[in-house]
Structure 1
Amino acid sequence: MLLRFFLLVFFSVLLSSCTSVSTTSTSSATKNKGSDVSKPVLEPAPSPRPAPAPVASSPSSAKSLSAPSVRVAAKPSSSSSSSGLTKKPSRPSHIPQSGLLTAGEIDDNLNFKEFKRYAKRVKDKQNGNGNLAQYPSVIDKGVIHLQVVDTTGRGLSNVHLKIAGQTYYTRSDGHFYLYPGYEIPQLDSSKLTVTLLSNDSQRNRALKTTVINTRKTGVQKITLTGQQNTLPKGLDLMFVIDTTGSMQDELSYIKSELKSIINRVKRLHPETSIRYGLIVYRDVGDQYVVRHYKFQNSLSAMETLLKKQNANGGGDYPEALDAAVEKGVRADWGKGNRARLMFLIADAPAHINGVNKAFNAAKIAHQKGIRIYPLGASGVKDEAEYLMRHIALISNGRYQFLTDDSGVGNKHQEPNVACYVVTRLDQLVVRTISSELSGRRVEPSKAEMIRKVGKYDNGLCL
């Protein structure tokens, strides 16, 4: 009897202990679950297609392999694209160290004969079946090359030239290129009257009227007496940037390098006042087509605007390049003896129905003294290069292009040019701006040269 009593007590205590443990465990689990709800751990959505592991022995692939790839669904290739190519996928944003990209340039105004051969070669390649057959004709009537100089032979900056009812500006070195086949299509005479006006925006007084030979090759110099060479003291600097998904790397580099570029320009030209303008663009159907930010004096404000931009959208190959350039040339550019530069950074042409608008925008830029410097990014193919080089040609700018020498980013198409010098991109941009401000072509130093292609001599292909 006593044994049965002790056994009953033992099992009662054991049952009570088990119940307590179970209750405690349940309470603890409930507490932990509540903690998870209040502080969730967010994990990134898995990539549809994981990136391969980085390969240390391949510098050229290091950037594209440094983060998981993001696949962008491409829209079907539009009928307006001759290449049938879709844009390359966008990549995660990162801000790389300044001074990594490498680039070259070609001055097609200076190398007009070679440009004519290039244009014919690229058109012949399409055999009349591509979009280039629908592009306007620019070079059929050749080029009129003038230089307005003072009595010492130095070029005069921003002299107004009134030609066939239109007013143009000389560059800061006094040079001026006009393509009558496109800009004065009604011209059928070998003689053309040119009236030279002062670069004083308040008066625009006539200084000289002369007659030039439209069929003469080479430069025709016009001397102005009583005028002294005065370099620009102001700079209007605008960036027009394609911000579709394929341009992530280029946008990141612009954010990274702008400040160091401007600081170097200011050290070289401390008396120059600078205004900054920005236009970003994508395409119809994206979040926006064109966004325009007005000129302002603050570099920090410009940097803030750039940092707010991101690359997204796009899909088919062409973009709204025409709308962006047109918006840019109609901005509030300064008057008088100023340098006016537009850097157009893109990797795709305009849609075929926008090509004429892009050409016309380049013509307006020429009339306003705005020099357009297109920069061909990774992804540029024949049609984009052809359009961008014509925009540079008409506006008296130069075509610039990224190269593979840095080993950074996607592969860049070799440009169809006879000669060029490769340097860092930031150095090229500084030289470009400095050339416009100093009235002379600024060439790279030997220390800046990475490699040279063809027979290059101060921008001229021999």
Structure 2
Amino acid sequence: MQAARWRKPILTAVALFLLLTSPWGQASRFPAPVAWQPPPPLAPQADDCHGPGVLRVTPGAASANEESDAAWGDADLRTREKKAMSGRATAPAAVLSAKPDALHREMAAADSAGPSEPLVQPIAPEPPVPAPGDKRRAGQQPVVTAGMVDDNADFGAYLAYRERNAQLPVRARDVSERYLLQVQDATGRPVPDAEVALQPGGGWNPGGQQQWMVRTDAAGRAWLHPRAVFGGAGQPEVLQVQARKDGATGATLLRRGQREALQLRLDRATVQARARLDLVFLIDATGSMSDEIAKLNASLQTIARQIAALPARPDICMAMVAYRDRGDAFLIRAHDFTDRLDDVQHNLAQLRAGGGGDTPEALNEAWHETVNRLSWRKDASRLVVLVADAPPHLDYGQPYYDEDLLSAQALGIKLFAVGASGLDQVGEYVFRQMAQYTGGRFVFLTYRDASDPGSGPGTQTVHDVQNYSVQTLDRLIVKLVRDELAGRTGA
């Protein structure tokens, strides 16, 4: 009798537990961000990117193999990469850092224009958007127009946007408290890629408990969001901020709630080296992305050539990370950094859109791969261009995109998120969240008719944005890189 008396409450408790932990019980609930989870002391390690980029493939299904690669059009890519890695490549590839005089002359007009206008200013599309009925010449690249917003420049509007969309099922971290850190050397020059540690008191102790690491961008700046890192209650009121670069060091205090900007000066001058650029294309390769992949492939040569001829004359490494979803031929296909443009172009040309099926895709996993496993170089500007039309799966468990935002800051990685046609409200929120936190921009394709992506290039969008600039996508990407590198050159 006693056992029977306890049986019903136990069964009820078990049933309630199963309901709450089942997919149905969590359909609109995702794990909240951890209040305090300091990233490990990350630091870029690579010295160069010479030679072919190493390929890493994460299968999307247990049965994914050579045959599945062939089915998705990837067999030739795998064969070529095996030859490249064994030293049997048939022809030398073009090197991204090579900048012949003819190319310099080609870009002279753009260089002589001086620094770009602030990103929040509207810029006229160039070349002009074709009028209705216009026909492009055979072989001409397709015109793709895009808008852009800088949510850090218009931060009040961004916070209002987040408030309007607070009900969306995302991993929202609190960025309402924000500070701009500027690191300078003893001569007053900005210090790019300075390593910065923030903690509630104590000395320089990389990896120590409750330590938060960031790196400055090309202009010596970094955005700081204490609430996004430390969480809610029990936050430290004063943070010790320490920075170092090339043997120079400096320290100051951040007294929260007083000033929105903070300046830190190092104790000696730093070395002004040639600009280095690590540029990654992070691409959603599911079935709905075929048009966007084709357009990016058509403009990659132009983008690379124009970046190479910027006033900073950067030493360029490029990488590509493509992703799909679980159950597809591959989950992630990551081509590590290389200075060979031919290799990058070939990898993109061989990429086929396929798989997917549901709206969310494996962006969490691909972002984690990009941040933590690519061979980022020391003393470089590190940029990621995400091109996708869907949000990440938040029901798969870790890794989560917001946790890797902290790691991206520790490595000094900026993300420019390009929302392709069909990006929903959750996708827009996540893309803008990732771009704002890392100091990047949110970019979105525009059309003549916002509700019809097939209507051709134009200035209209369905996204929740105002006062945005419009440009052709390839020129916009080059402009973003140019403005980033201008901090190193003063151009």
Same fold (TM over 0.5): yes
Q: TM-score, normalised on structure 2? A: 0.64
* Higher mean C-alpha deviation, range 187-196 or range 227-236: 227-236
Superposition CA RMSD, Å = 3.0
Alpha-carbon distance in 1 for matches of 2:141, 2:184: 39
1:180 paired residue among 226, 230, 235? 226
The answer to whether the 8 A contact 1:106-1:420 is kept is yes
Alpha-carbon distance in 2 for matches of 1:302, 1:286: 23
3-state SS in 2 of match to 1:277: strand
Higher RCO (Cα < 8 Å, 6 or more apart): 2
2:169 maps to what in 1? 131
Q: TM-score, normalised on structure 1? A: 0.68
1:195 maps to what in 2? 242
The answer to whether the 8 A contact 2:279-2:382 is kept is yes
1:364 maps to what in 2? 407
2:153 maps to what in 1? 110
2:141 paired residue among 65, 75, 98? 98
**1:53-104 deviations in whole A, cap 9, x for unaligned?**
xxxx9669x99xxxxxxxxxxxxxxxxxxxxxxxxxxxxxxx9743611112
Matched, 1:122 2:168: no
**1:281-340 deviations in whole A, cap 9, x for unaligned?**
111122211111111110111001011101111121111111111111013333432111
Alpha-carbon distance in 2 for matches of 1:106, 1:279: 24
The answer to whether the 8 A contact 2:275-2:488 is kept is no
How far off its partner does 1:242 sit?
0.4
* Higher mean C-alpha deviation, range 243-252 or range 110-119: 110-119
**1:4-35 deviations in whole A, cap 9, x for unaligned?**
xxxxxxxxxxxxxxxxxxxxxxxxxxxxxxxx
3-state SS in 2 of match to 1:215: coil
CA distance 1:339–1:325, shift in 2 (3 Å): same
The answer to whether the 8 A contact 2:223-2:439 is kept is yes
Matched, 1:157 2:203: no
3-state SS in 1 of match to 2:435: helix
Alpha-carbon distance in 2 for matches of 1:404, 1:436: 27
Alpha-carbon distance in 2 for matches of 1:216, 1:247: 46
Residue 131 of structure 1 aligns with an amino acid whose one-letter code is P
2:249 maps to what in 1? 207
1:328 maps to what in 2? 370
The answer to whether the 8 A contact 1:231-1:438 is kept is no
1:144 paired residue among 164, 176, 179? 179
1:66 maps to what in 2? none
Residue 182 of structure 2 aligns with an amino acid whose one-letter code is Q
The answer to whether the 8 A contact 1:197-1:206 is kept is yes
CA distance 1:371–1:400, shift in 2 (3 Å): same
3-state SS in 2 of match to 1:327: helix
CA distance 1:441–1:432, shift in 2 (3 Å): farther
Alpha-carbon distance in 1 for matches of 2:263, 2:158: 23
Matched, 1:420 2:456: no
How far off its partner does 1:231 sit?
6.0
Residue 372 of structure 1 aligns with an amino acid whose one-letter code is L
Alpha-carbon distance in 2 for matches of 1:417, 1:311: 29
Segments of structure 2 that go 5 or more residues without pairing to the other structure are: 1-130, 200-210
**1:346-374 deviations in whole A, cap 9, x for unaligned?**
11101222587111122211110111111
How far off its partner does 1:153 sit?
4.8
Count, aligned residues: 343
Residue 436 of structure 2 aligns with an amino acid whose one-letter code is L
2:216 maps to what in 1? 170
Residue 163 of structure 2 aligns with an amino acid whose one-letter code is K
Alpha-carbon distance in 1 for matches of 2:394, 2:274: 37
The answer to whether the 8 A contact 2:274-2:315 is kept is no
Residue 147 of structure 1 aligns with an amino acid whose one-letter code is Q
CA distance 1:149–1:252, shift in 2 (3 Å): same
Residue 173 of structure 1 aligns with an amino acid whose one-letter code is A
Matched, 1:387 2:434: no
Alignment of structure 1 residues 148-297 onto 2, 5 Å = 148-150=183-185, 153-164=188-199, 165-185=211-231, 188-198=235-245, 200=246, 205=247, 207-228=249-270, 230=272, 233-269=275-311, 271-297=313-339
**1:409-460 deviations in whole A, cap 9, x for unaligned?**
44774332232111111111001111222217999xxxxxxxxxxxxxxxxx
Residue 183 of structure 1 aligns with an amino acid whose one-letter code is V
What is the aligned-residue identity percentage? 29
CA distance 1:225–1:206, shift in 2 (3 Å): closer
Segments of structure 1 that go 5 or more residues without pairing to the other structure are: 1-56, 64-94, 444-462
Give the number of the structure whose alpha-carbon radius of gyration is greater. Answer: 1
3-state SS in 2 of match to 1:156: coil
The answer to whether the 8 A contact 1:232-1:437 is kept is no
CA distance 1:403–1:266, shift in 2 (3 Å): same
Residue 386 of structure 2 aligns with an amino acid whose one-letter code is L
Residue 353 of structure 2 aligns with an amino acid whose one-letter code is A
Alpha-carbon distance in 1 for matches of 2:386, 2:431: 9
Matched, 1:432 2:483: no
3-state SS in 2 of match to 1:343: strand
* Higher mean C-alpha deviation, range 150-159 or range 287-296: 150-159
Alpha-carbon distance in 2 for matches of 1:250, 1:290: 18
